[in-house]
A and B are shown apart, each in its own frame.
Chain A
Amino acid sequence: MSKTKYDRQLRIWGEVGQAALEEASICLLNCGPTGSEALKNLVLGGVGSITIVDGSKVELGDLGNNFMVDERSVGQSKAKSTCAFLQELNDSVKAKFVEESPDTLIMTSPSFFSQFTLVIATQLVEDSMVKLDRICREADVKVVFVRSYGLVGLVRVSVQEHTIIDSKPDHFLDDLRLNNPWPELNSFVETIDLNVSDHVAHKHIPYVVILVKMADEWTKSHSGNLPSTREEKKEFKDFVKSKMISMDEDNYKEAIEAAFKVFAPRGISSEIQQICNDSCAEPSSSSSDFWVMVAALKEFVSNEGDGEAPLEGSIPDMTSSTEHYINLQKIFLAKAEADFLVMEKRVKNILKRIDRDPSSISKPTIKSFCKNARKLKVCRYRTVEDEFSNPSVTEIQKCLADEDYSGAMGFYVLLRAVDRFTANYNKFPGQFDGGMDEDISRLKTTALSLLADLGCNGSVLPDDLINEMCRFGASELHVVAAFVGGIASQEVIKLVTKQFVRCWGLTSSMALITSLSY
């Protein structure tokens, strides 16, 4: 039954991803709407276990923004009410709660956090964030910080290193090697005559064959080089077009459209090169499976691969006779299999060298690695402490001055400013209806001093933004909480399943800010 229940999500992250989710234990700090909405999505998805930490009692005002509590729960433990509701959503999930303030746990029982796969830390102020981050880094526990403040949301992932094999990018070029065909592909292509007289056969020759043949002809008459200049590329396309005998030949139209694949540079991308050159790619006894396989990849590329990664193995759909297509598929699969076997051998050898059991990395894992070798991703996040003490000054200044980003960046600065404000005045600016003008001017001063600390003395924060921040008055609106909680839960899923691209570039220094105030 559970298989049917999860059908719609299995189609996204597969059984392997689902298994990873079901093994994960998640801790939630603070179960206001932000935290509970994030957790709700994970419970529905079948996460292994959840532990809610919150010491507060349900207030009347909570009834206006929190779906997990109702009139009967007013005065009771918020953690208890939330836990009960979430348990109802999915009885396969083990749900617990701890009636304690997260700050107290952070201060007095740091070891509490070691038992979890991941902590979702919501609505924490700066100081608490820094402390929790330190604790979790030490214990190798992943953290996702989430904040919802008026119409502003923030999501900040903090993980030492997150490696992804099955990154499943939305758009990625197929691995056809039109610019670098291997012997078996060439042999197959040679068996097909482009100038076949039968019209039906002529228009059912797959474009892969057409382009490999034409590229070969071209290089023979151009000292072994593929088209590189704009004129040459146009000439090549015209050359392909000249082989069309009628306007309805879809295979030739596809060939012309796919011609750019012939011009693409050979070999591995700079991103994969970077990963191969990473210091972690030097295998040692403490290397993770990922890095052992990267070490094998590095060897492969320099040897059997001749500059290329293992062949991915699949081919896209294309106009073709069934026979040609199936044969082409077989050739691609055969090479992918051959490359995999070489990689498997290399992985085993490396494992032996570092005194590990050579069969400790499974065949399916290595196969998946080979298939995804061109799409690997490594994400390293700096600590929150580092972000605060070594701000990316140029990035901040640039964004504050840019029309498109100044709003979001302005709110990032203000979010930190309100935390400082609270440390000084024991309340958030605009939290209460009285004294708004005073709060606005105080917040402005605080923000300016923060900007100075960030090294951005010249930058300006528009007054409208400061006013708006005070207007928000630390409110936690349900829709904003649901929005940012939704985003956070997706990030958790990606971190736990180790699928899908999770970050922007190799290092991520800042949080994601969404401002729903356009």
Chain B
Amino acid sequence: MADLDVPQSKTRDLDKLLLRAGNLVGPDFYPGAELRDDIRDYVRVLVVGAGGLGCELLKDLALSGFRNLDVIDMDRIEVTNLNRQFLFRLEDVGKPKAEVAAKRVMERVSGVEIVPHFSRIEDKELDFYNDFNIIALGLDSIEARRYINGVACGFLEYDEDDTPRRETIKPMVDGGTEGFKGHARVIVPGVTPLKFPLCTLAETPRNAAHCIEYAHLIKWHEVHGGKSFDPDEPEHMKWVYDEAIKRAELFGIPGVTYSLTQGVVKNIIPAIASTNAIISAACALETLKIVSGCSKTLANYLTYNGGEGLHTKVTEFVRDQDCLVCGPGILIELDTSITLQKFIDMLEEHPKLLLSKASVKHGKDSLYMQAPPVLEEMHRPNLSKPLYDLMGRVQKDTVHVFGTALKNEEKQSSLTKLRVVFKGADGVTDMDTAIGA
């Protein structure tokens, strides 16, 4: 039933959504070929993670009119990935996920450009993230989510009323899955996982997981001192398994298996292709809607619980005004004489931050970096200089600090925004304290 008068378009189906006017659309929807072409030519999307969600996201975005994609992932392909990460084959095991994923999608969808980044997300400059219009997350770790959340919120600038300036808002679409369940959301902070209390492990174990975690967290350090446990090292895993069995036998607790040991130690999340497909599709569609306005976007949150039937729940999720990360930033008042070193020390003591080993950035300038060594050495001279001077002698401005924070007894990488205000920096010298008047 083809319409013979009109030449066939490769984007036959997408055209109906982007080229046609409608009533149930976003507020800034301007349908037309220009919209479609602009999305294709100018919009840049970063996909964070090239695993179960990442593979699906790349495919979905490539087939939704996006042509300029980047993907970042620090992992290599493993056999256990193959039941759902469909861009990888057996012969790809060992290769970087980002590179293989990019290559495969480019092979199948002509015209799409995907730049792979085989690296940790923390190793990229903040500017790298700023180049994208949308960041789509296909992550499996809360830490990574928190980091990217911090990065995106770090780009926010505020006007006099402390409301964020629209052009500095960097939308993020975040997907997560576990077994049959999943969620898709538009810019929301993460949730913390549960851990066993240490005393249960040490004194009153009751189940197999307790025995395993005892061997993994307590016994390992007792026997192996400073050597860190590597879950990917089969000998280490076997050691934990053997110890767990011993302990289980001692307490008469059944159920310790090698598979469970791996699951508990590696915090393995059961995963299947279908859930990833569903959630990624929802995320990719939201990305398209945000960018084009072709339909109304999610009011923040979609949850999917496939095990109980099916419920998509679209919930409004309100921003926490006091959010440390995406709010206007914690206010820090400083004397103009404070050195950068002193400032960094203060961050460790600050009750709301407790940030150790901080790196400091002022706008585009790095004032000090803890790593890598070559940059640390380069910035070291700044430590003895007054922060006020390093920041260009302005009365107040924003800085970003990045380091390790202690939250709920857990160490996390933390990127935080601070509003620094300098006292006595309005040009008037305090005559009483001036030396040698």
Contact = CB atoms under 8 A, between A and B. Distances in A.
Interface in B270-296: 270-278, 280-282, 284-285, 288, 295-296
Contact of A150 (B17, B252, B274): B17
A517 interface: yes
Contacts of A67: 59, 63, 108-109
Interface in A269-290: none
Interface stretch (A139-147, A186-194, A336-344, A424-432): A424-432
B124 to A, nearest CB: 27
Interface in B66-107: 79-80, 82-84, 86, 89, 107
Nearest to B182: A486
Interface string B295-306: 111110000011
The SS class assigned to the B binding surface is loop
Nearest to B252: A326
A306 interface: no
Given A489-B273, A501-B307, A322 B251 contact: yes
B114 to A, nearest CB: 14
B86 A40 contact: yes
A321 B309 CA distance: 39
Given A8-B271, A170-B307, A482-B281, A70 B108 contact: yes
Given A1-B79, A5-B83, A475-B17, A322 B204 contact: yes
Interface stretch (A174-182, A362-370, A446-454, A466-474): A466-474
Interface stretch (B8-16, B158-166, B237-245): B8-16
Contact of B308 (A37, A501, A517): A501
A510 to B, nearest CB: 13
Contacts of B345: none
A370 to B, nearest CB: 19
Nearest to A407: B24
A468 B63 contact: no
Interface in B1-44: 1-3, 6, 8-14, 16-17, 20-24
B8 A471 contact: no
A426 B296 CA distance: 31
Nearest to B107: A70
A35 interface: no
Nearest to B278: A486
- Residue of B11, B21, B307, B312 with most partner-chain A CB within 10 A: B307
A264 B66 CA distance: 55
A322 B206 CA distance: 6
A504 interface: yes
A256 B268 CA distance: 33
Given A4-B79, A5-B80, A483 B281 contact: yes
Contacts of B343: none
B143 interface: no
A471 B273 contact: no
B180 interface: yes
A367 B259 CA distance: 23
Contacts of A130: none
B296 A467 contact: no
A333 B281 CA distance: 45
Contacts of B270: 8-9, 11-12
A135 interface: no
A329 B205 CA distance: 14
A478 B112 CA distance: 15
A405 to B, nearest CB: 12
A170 B3 contact: no
A500 B282 CA distance: 23
B110 interface: yes
A320 B205 CA distance: 9
Contact of A9 (B14, B83, B207): B83
Nearest to B1: A427
Given A61-B9, A63-B10, A321 B204 contact: yes
Interface in A458-494: 464-465, 467-468, 471-473, 475-480, 482-483, 485-487, 489-490, 493
B277 A45 contact: no
B198 interface: no
Nearest to B13: A475
A423 to B, nearest CB: 13
A64 B16 contact: no
A347 B92 CA distance: 51
A45 B273 contact: yes
- Residue of B251, B273, B309 with most partner-chain A CB within 10 A: B273
B86 A60 contact: no
A473 B10 CA distance: 16
Given A37-B277, A67-B109, A479-B281, A44 B84 contact: yes
A41 B52 CA distance: 12
A231 B280 CA distance: 50
Nearest to B197: A250
A517 B63 CA distance: 19
A426 B269 CA distance: 49
Interface residues of A, number: 79
Contacts of B274: 41, 45, 486-487, 489-490, 493
A467 B206 contact: no
B179 interface: yes
B263 interface: yes
A7 interface: yes
Contacts of B180: 12, 490, 500
A244 interface: no
Interface string A54-66: 0000011101111
A472 B83 contact: no
B309 A478 contact: no
Interface string B367-393: 000000000000000000000000000
B354 interface: no
Nearest to B79: A4
Contacts of A430: 16
B24 A8 contact: no
B253 interface: yes
A477 B289 CA distance: 13
Contacts of A66: 63
Contact of B60 (A59, A467, A479): A479
A372 interface: no
A33 B307 CA distance: 24
A516 interface: yes
A137 interface: no
Given A426-B1, A518-B314, A44 B17 contact: no
A468 B8 CA distance: 23
Contact of A473 (B16, B24, B59): B16
A294 interface: no
B52 to A, nearest CB: 9
B268 A8 contact: yes
B310 interface: yes
A363 B82 CA distance: 34
A493 B84 CA distance: 14
A66 B206 CA distance: 51
Contact of B277 (A464, A485, A500, A516): A485
B185 to A, nearest CB: 13
Contacts of A516: 282, 285, 295
A60 B275 contact: no
A263 B337 CA distance: 67
B310 A487 contact: yes
9 contacts: A9-B270, A12-B270, A37-B277, A44-B86, A70-B110, A151-B17, A168-B307, A317-B207, A500-B180
Given A8-B271, A44-B82, A44-B273, 12 more contacts: A8-B270, A9-B270, A41-B274, A67-B108, A89-B86, A151-B17, A169-B307, A468-B22, A477-B64, A479-B288, A486-B277, A516-B285
Rank and list the top 3 A-B pairs by shortest CB-CB distance, nearest first: A61-B12, A486-B277, A486-B278
